[in-house]
Amino acid sequence: MSDLPYRPNVGAVVFNADGLVLVARRADQPRGEAAGGAWQLPQGGLDEGEDARAAVLREVLEEIGTDRVEILAEHDAWLTYDLPDHLIGVVWGGRWRGQKQRWFALRFLGEDSEIRLDADPHPEFDAWRWVPLGELPALAVPFKREIYERLSRDFARFAEPA
């Protein structure tokens, strides 16, 4: 695994006017009361040569169906995570060991009705909701939890009502 590179990625912590954060449930994961589903923040691959700010806006539009956001801040570090062993070679064609991510805090400027998970022909998510920033780590899959803890600390200043 250590010979594989990290996949370049961008992520969005989208805050509404009340200081809550948008999380979405992955459509490709088990659901039901016991499973709970895999909730995450919007994120996606960074194409070679693509500007990270442009990429995060593209990903938000693709994943939640609206670009009614403004960038508030860019995290000052690339954050990385490793996939668990059972996913190495399964996701991303076995080309990556995990992801190195550039995270952004964004403010949602639209109405909830503008969030459309079905806008993309291949939706990644099947449900979404607003949650307090501090709940992010508990919602994350274990291998992303450390990043979500860091984002909860580093972007806390945006969790106040606008």
Q: Which of 137, 115, 129 is nearest to 60 (CA)?
A: 115
> How many Å separate Cα 23 from the centre of its chain?
8
pTM of the model: 0.92
Average model confidence (pLDDT) for the chain?
91
- Distance from the Cα of residue 82 to its chain's centroid: 16
Q: How many Cβ atoms sit within 10 Å of the Cβ of residue 94?
A: 11
Q: Residue 1 falls within a domain, yes or no?
A: no
pLDDT for position 30 = 58
Ranges under pLDDT 70 in the chain: 1, 30-37
Residue type, 117: L
Q: For residue 34, what pLDDT is reported? A: 40
* 162: in domain: no
Q: Compute the distance between CA of residue 21 and CA of residue 103 in angstroms, rounded to an integer.
A: 14
Q: How many domains does the chain have?
A: 1
**For the segment 18-39, what is each residue's pLDDT rounded down to a tens digit?**
999 999 998 887 554 444 568 9
59 with 44: CB under 8 angstroms? yes
Are the C-beta atoms of residues 106 and 60 closer than 8 Å to each other? yes
Tell me the CATH number at 15.
3.90.79.10
Domain interval for residue 81? 6-157
CB neighbours of 59 closer than 8 A, spacing ≥ 6?
A: 10, 12, 42, 43, 44
Rounded CA gap, 123 and 8, in Å?
21
Q: Are 55 and 11 in contact (CB under 8 A)?
A: no
142 is a domain residue:
yes
